[in-house]
A = this chain, B = another copy of it.
Amino acid sequence: MAKLPLLSVSLNLLLLFHGCLARSSNFEQFQNECQINKLESIEPVTRVKSEAGFTEWWNPNSQQLMCAAVAVLRETVEPQGLVLPSFSNTNQLVHIIKGSGVLGMILPGCPATFQDSQHQGRRQDQHQKIQRFREGDVIVLPAGVPHWFYNDANQPFVTVAFLHLGNSVNQLDRNPRKFHLAGNPEEEQKKLQRLQQQKQGITESEQEEEEEKHKQCTNSLCFNPEYLAQAFNVDEDVIRKIQEQGKSGTIIRVKNLQFIEPPRVQHEEGRRGSMGGDNGVYCAMKMKENIAEPELADIFNPQAGRITTLNSFKLPLLSHLGMSAERGVLFNKGGLVPQWSDAHRIFYMVKGRARFQVVNQNGESVFDDYVEQGQLLTVPQNFAFMKRAGNEGAEWVSFYTNDNAKNTPMAGVGSYMQGVPEEVVAAAYQISREEAREVKFNNQNNFFFTSSSRPQPRAEEA
């Protein structure tokens, strides 16, 4: 009779223990989140369908994203899709993978500088600046700044957004958050919460309980309707409409949305200098830049590829964000020499595929595989990597967790190897001075290498 209670106590303990260990090991993960022995290229783990598009999050618990303190999401927006206003507690860089559209950002304290012309006597609208974006743009979204997107083109647009949780601008913890100002983000919030609870080791049954609650209002406007009516100085039934949850997520379909806009010209570049409507530096900041146009390349090698960097020297706002970006192309079998960066580097493969090798501080190869289109790979700070494109070439964007990342190549012009005296190279690697000279100077490219650059005469490679 005494045995059964004991048994149950012990089993309970077992369960409790399991939880305890699970949680403790999460702690270790946090303390040692960059003790990386193995990397994987990763794809999104959740997908939330909205009326006019869908949102996909990468797992914020994946070791590589925890190490980089970054969260990543991809959004696909159909024509006539309106991405409802939201903001985040982190700085974001948003890269336009495909398509084009219109963007509104509401900067606090800045005036509504886009004003309507006369509309037969009725009250005019006015709102903050609207910007057009297109494939290859990087859009800078500072923490706390609400923004919305609209697809007024006839094909979907796709964005990849990088949220930098590790920057000190984020004063909350390292869980990714979106503060929605409209729409019904409930499904997205639940999926995000579930991922966060997994990180905390909360079991599924607890989760389900949590999810039983169904809410009437799920965004940042969920205040007391009476007070809100006073704050907006409108009838309470307008507020109740505003608070009513649609069934459609955070991207809704709206036909032919109109807003005030200056006459459009072919290239945004044409619009620079015409900012007379804005008053003040902050309100008129440049918030986006294209990095995909071939003629913008900073490094170009007709055999191997090209790279365009976006740092705080090109877009000064980035110095406040502590992030930068790069878009690169490798032509057929072109490669990047081994190198390391003083920041975390998160690759997203836009087109094609490339084989990456990543090595940690113990010389362990923590990744040696292809990264395919739509996949993501983090190369942590100071980890060395190299890559080579497949036959079809490769096009990627990478995001850095500082505003002016320095990459140190190991081979080629300006490399580590070229900076070391010949005799030191020979002694360090136990090779002849002739070989040391080859290692230092044979690759005359900057960052790139080409498979065709040298005949491979050795028998065992045939």
Q: Which one of B127, B234, B337 lies within 8 Å of A439 (CB-CB)?
A: B234
Give the shortest distance, in Å, between A184 (CB) and chain B (any CB): 9
Q: Which residues of the partner chain B approach A32 to less than 8 Å between Cβ atoms?
A: 173, 175, 196, 200
Contact of B232 with A442 in the complex, beta carbons under 8 Å: yes
Give the shortest distance, in Å, between A16 (CB) and chain B (any CB): 5
| Bound form: Cα–Cα A88–B144 in Å | 31
Whether a CB of chain B sits under 8 angstroms from the CB of A296 is no
Give the shortest distance, in Å, between A281 (CB) and chain B (any CB): 14
Q: List which A328-345 residues lie within 8 A (CB) of chain B.
A: 335, 337-338, 340-344
Q: List which A150-179 residues lie within 8 A (CB) of chain B.
A: 150, 166, 168-175, 177-179
Contact of B104 with A461 in the complex, beta carbons under 8 Å: no
Give the shortest distance, in Å, between A305 (CB) and chain B (any CB): 14
Whether a CB of chain B sits under 8 angstroms from the CB of A72 is no
Contact of B438 with A234 in the complex, beta carbons under 8 Å: yes
Whether a CB of chain B sits under 8 angstroms from the CB of A41 is no
Contact of B148 with A242 in the complex, beta carbons under 8 Å: no
Contact of B175 with A420 in the complex, beta carbons under 8 Å: no
Whether a CB of chain B sits under 8 angstroms from the CB of A408 is yes
Contact of B104 with A421 in the complex, beta carbons under 8 Å: yes
Known contacts A182-B428, A233-B443; A220 and B17 CB within 8 A of each other:
no
Known contacts A183-B428, A227-B357; A127 and B420 CB within 8 A of each other:
yes
| Bound form: Cα–Cα A2–B1 in Å | 12
* A60-80 vs B, Cβ < 8 Å mask (1 yes, 0 no): 000000011100000000000
Contact of B108 with A257 in the complex, beta carbons under 8 Å: no
Contact of B189 with A412 in the complex, beta carbons under 8 Å: no
Q: Which residues of the partner chain B approach A407 to less than 8 Å between Cβ atoms?
A: 108
Q: Which one of B25, B234, B363, B441 lies within 8 Å of A217 (CB-CB)?
A: B363
Give the shortest distance, in Å, between A254 (CB) and chain B (any CB): 4
Whether a CB of chain B sits under 8 angstroms from the CB of A381 is yes
Q: Which residues of the partner chain B approach A169 to less than 8 Å between Cβ atoms?
A: 342
| Bound form: Cα–Cα A183–B428 in Å | 7
Q: Which one of B148, B242, B439 lies within 8 Å of A420 (CB-CB)?
A: B148
Contact of A175 with B259 in the complex, beta carbons under 8 Å: no
Whether a CB of chain B sits under 8 angstroms from the CB of A34 is yes
Q: Which residues of the partner chain B approach A416 to less than 8 Å between Cβ atoms?
A: 85, 106, 108, 146, 181
Known contacts A34-B172, A67-B172, A109-B414; A260 and B421 CB within 8 A of each other:
yes
Q: List which A313-360 residues lie within 8 A (CB) of chain B.
A: 335, 337-338, 340-344, 357, 359
Contact of A6 with B13 in the complex, beta carbons under 8 Å: no
Chain A: how many interface residues by the 8 Å CB criterion? Answer: 172
Contact of B458 with A237 in the complex, beta carbons under 8 Å: yes
Most buried by B among A229, A234, A236: A234
Whether a CB of chain B sits under 8 angstroms from the CB of A284 is no
In the complex formed, the residue of B with least CB distance to A428 is B182
Contact of A82 with B424 in the complex, beta carbons under 8 Å: yes
Give the shortest distance, in Å, between A64 (CB) and chain B (any CB): 12
Known contacts A32-B175, A429-B182, A439-B238; A423 and B257 CB within 8 A of each other:
yes
Contact of A218 with B87 in the complex, beta carbons under 8 Å: no
Contact of B177 with A382 in the complex, beta carbons under 8 Å: yes
Q: List which A184-213 residues lie within 8 A (CB) of chain B.
A: 185, 189, 193, 196, 199-201
Contact of B418 with A127 in the complex, beta carbons under 8 Å: yes
Known contacts A242-B439, A259-B423, A420-B106; A231 and B16 CB within 8 A of each other:
no
Whether a CB of chain B sits under 8 angstroms from the CB of A364 is yes
Whether a CB of chain B sits under 8 angstroms from the CB of A406 is yes
Contact stretch, chosen from A92-100, A132-140, A265-273, A448-456: A448-456
Whether a CB of chain B sits under 8 angstroms from the CB of A277 is no
Q: Which residues of the partner chain B approach A200 to less than 8 Å between Cβ atoms?
A: 28, 31-32
Q: Which residues of the partner chain B approach A391 to less than 8 Å between Cβ atoms?
A: none
Q: Which residues of the partner chain B approach A215 to less than 8 Å between Cβ atoms?
A: 362-364
Between A and B, 19 residue pairs with Cβ closer than 8 Å are A108-B406, A108-B409, A125-B421, A143-B342, A171-B381, A172-B380, A179-B382, A223-B359, A224-B357, A227-B335, A228-B411, A230-B450, A231-B337, A233-B411, A233-B454, A236-B458, A241-B430, A241-B431, A257-B427
Known interface pairs A32-B173, A111-B414, A223-B338; 6 further A-B residue pairs with C-beta atoms within 8 A, sorted by A's residue number: A67-B172, A130-B421, A146-B416, A215-B362, A218-B363, A231-B386
